């Protein structure tokens, strides 16, 4: 049975869905519920690990993921995303090569867009081959903030001196 909880963070409120099979969805939501119910047992670890991640205290997630019903191509892409180390990035073309389909760069981008398990399956760590930030379903500002959280030396914004 699919269960739901919410995880308010400094980056916004994330809705977590999952069951005993694993986490099936983590997505940013605009409407934060006024009254939080008790966190379902199957979602407690995800809730706690997300809080730790956003507090800068967690670099890896240790959770079962449930991609049931997803296309094999998407699963292959997401399987590569979870291998990208914390604070590092890779390109869409590198992911396409790793899954054995070097011409599928746009399809990799689409799989990223369809990633149901944001943050935990770190599609925000995928950038353009030339180093530019491209496409993120929560916007490039959020993508930059996430990368900055993970690697402030490489992704911090340059402030104005005057």
Residues with catalytic function:
123
Q: What is the rounded distance in angstroms from the CA atom of residue 99 to the CA atom of residue 80?
A: 8
State both tokens at 75. Answer: 């699963």
Residue 112, CA distances (Å) to 40, 95, 130 in order: 28, 11, 18
Q: What is the rounded distance in angstroms from the CA atom of residue 108 to the CA atom of residue 76?
A: 10
3-state SS class at 144: helix
């Amino acid at each position: 049975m699919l269960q739901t909880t919410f995880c308010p963070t400094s980056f916004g409120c994330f809705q977590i869905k999952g069951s005993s099979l694993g986490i099936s969805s983590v997505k940013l939501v605009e409407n934060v519920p006024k009254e939080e119910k008790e966190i379902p047992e199957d979602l407690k670890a995800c809730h706690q690990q997300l809080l730790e991640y956003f507090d800068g205290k967690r670099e890896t997630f240790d959770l079962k993921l449930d991609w049931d019903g997803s296309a094999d191509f998407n699963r292959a892409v997401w399987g590569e995303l979870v291998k990208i180390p914390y604070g590092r990035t890779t390109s869409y073309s590198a992911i396409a090569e790793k899954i054995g389909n070097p011409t599928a760069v746009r399809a990799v981008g689409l799989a990223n867009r369809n990633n149901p398990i944001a943050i935990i399956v770190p599609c925000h760590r995928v950038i353009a081959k030339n180093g530019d930030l491209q496409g993120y379903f929560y916007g490039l500002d959020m993508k930059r903030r996430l990368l900055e959280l993970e690697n402030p030396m490489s992704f911090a914004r340059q402030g104005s001196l005057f």
